[in-house]
Amino acid sequence: MIWSNLKNIGGSLLVIILFLSSSQLSAQKNGPTIPKDSVWTNGGNFGIFFQQVGLSNWSGGGENSVAYGAEVNLYANKRQRSHTWFNNLQAGYGLVKIGDQGARKNNDILIITSQYGRFLSDKWQLSAGLDFRTQFADGFIYNGAADATDTLISTFMSPGYLSPYIGTTYKPNDAFSATFAPLMQKVTFVMDDDLAAVGAYGVDPGENIRSQAGWSISAMYQKEIMTNVNLKTSLLLFDAYDDIEHIDVNFDLFLNFKVNKYITTNFALQTIYDHDIDIEDEDGNVGPRLQMRNVLNIGLTFNFGEPRKEE
């Protein structure tokens, strides 16, 4: 089963590699060479966030708490004649400690995206790329105090998602783009054997990888919507050909408010509806559910690299 899935992955990646290689060879044969330093735009930002609440004889109740974390966003974008290549990395990790409880994570995300495009006209591109998502550390359902009764539900590469695709991109301006990919492979990894044994995240019980062929629609909007306020939002829809009646949804929104050169506030919202992920509610019912994660941070942010050219 694993070998069959790996062959499917390899086939998808081979198609993309051949597509990129042929396009690059064509680019080398046509048009003048542009100096290297005029092609790439690189940079990003790194943020450190901290929150502390201390209470003493406080009649309103509550508990002492400390929250802290870090986030990094990196990009490397290439524009050369009719070719574009956009690469992004988003990573964040945070912990919160309330009262006498041990530290528990409240933010854990790792997303890497890459998209190559070749313009067919002023607004349309032939495109290929991939989307990779996972987390850094163990995730638990906390059943009580830190007494080994907590239930592990996720960890690094459990789940992990790799989605290579080929399609067309509509890009009417620098702020907005939308991609339709009739060829997409959604590969789900559950590398923790205990989680794989129970068939977590849609893999067959005892297997570590599940591969699904399907189509996808994705859209992204990124712009400074007012002075010192940047908005970035994205939507990804995926529909597997062997389960056509169910569409998985992943929506992200990120707002960044710049106070001054170093101090920023940002708000992140992520919503997921994946038909392969079963979640138990308070009444004991198990099934797919709308997942939501939101993070509000205030802290120090350090920007570096060249000014970003919006995708």
The mean-pLDDT minimum among 119-133, 275-289, 295-309 falls in 295-309
- Percent share of the chain, pLDDT over 90: 57
Classify domain 2-31+44-54+64-305 at the CATH class level. mainly beta
**Does position 19 have pLDDT exceeding 80, yes or no?**
no
pLDDT of residue 145: 55
Residues 6+ apart with CB under 8 A from 70: 46, 47, 48, 49, 92, 93, 94
Q: How far apart are the first and last CA of the chain?
A: 39
What's the rounded mean pLDDT across residues 42-63? Answer: 82
What's the rounded mean pLDDT across residues 196-220? Answer: 95
pLDDT of residue 309: 53
Domain ranges of the chain: 2-31+44-54+64-305
- Token pair 């509806």 is found at 273
Residues 6+ apart with CB under 8 A from 205: 196, 197, 198, 199
User: φ, ψ for residue 191 (rounded to 5)?
Assistant: -85, -15
User: φ, ψ for residue 274 (rounded to 5)?
Assistant: -120, 120
Q: Are strands 229-240 and 104-119 parallel, antiparallel or unpaired?
A: unpaired
